[in-house]
Amino acid sequence: MTQLIGLTGGIATGKSTVSAMLADAGLPIVDADKIAWQVEGPGQPTTQKIAATFGPKTLLADGQLNRQWLGQQVFNDSTKLAQLTELTRMPIQRAMLEAIALAGRQQPVAVILDVPLLYEGGWQHLCDQVIVVTAPENVVLTRLMARNNLSAEAARARIASQLPLAEKVKRADVVIDNGENVDKTRTAVLKWLKTIIKSN
């Protein structure tokens, strides 16, 4: 029987690394970020609603969301973040549920539900297990500043906009440390995979 496995972690903990390892092992991945990009693509109804709410600077010349500008608006203003979430939540949820159903048709041992805000969005209630990917705070801050070209202050604001990583770890069924040693991460992922295969 196919299990639905939630995969989450704090921002810049390296969740994508773990997701890629699981994909390499043959498990289908339902990636909330990719689905969100599709739902919020040029000309999409959700994109038009976001632009109507946040103004003309929301869109680039090609119709894509100006994500850098929008991020600056919402990650420092909880009211604006709540507005954006309200506009995008339902369309993204519908698309994700469709993707989960599609991924399960081949009856794999597990479908991986890769959601950065898994707990914040209540997705854990649909999952048989939840994996939380962690990394030390200093590693997370360095990664986020480099990846998104952010100041330390801006990076901390983004970290603070999510449920604290320690709280996610408390709620997790499985915790995978993805600090600075990718080989240790891979070993932990493979160990978990063996348990899933055995349980089927």
Residues 178 and 88 in one domain: no
Burial state string for 52-88 with b = 16 or more CB within 10 A and e = fewer than 16: eebeeebbeeeeebbeeebbebbbeeeeeeebbeebb
Residues 7 and 46 in one domain: no
On whether residue 166 sits in a domain, the answer given is yes
On whether residue 168 sits in a domain, the answer given is yes
- Of 52, 83, 105, which marks where a domain is finished? 105
Domains in the chain: how many in total?
2
C-alpha–C-alpha distance, residues 67 and 58, integer Å: 8
State which residues form the domain around 112: 1-28+107-200
On whether residue 33 sits in a domain, the answer given is no
Residues 66 and 140 in one domain: no
pLDDT of residue 91: 96
Residue ranges in the chain whose pLDDT is less than 70:
none
- Of 105, 124, 156, which marks where a domain is finished? 105
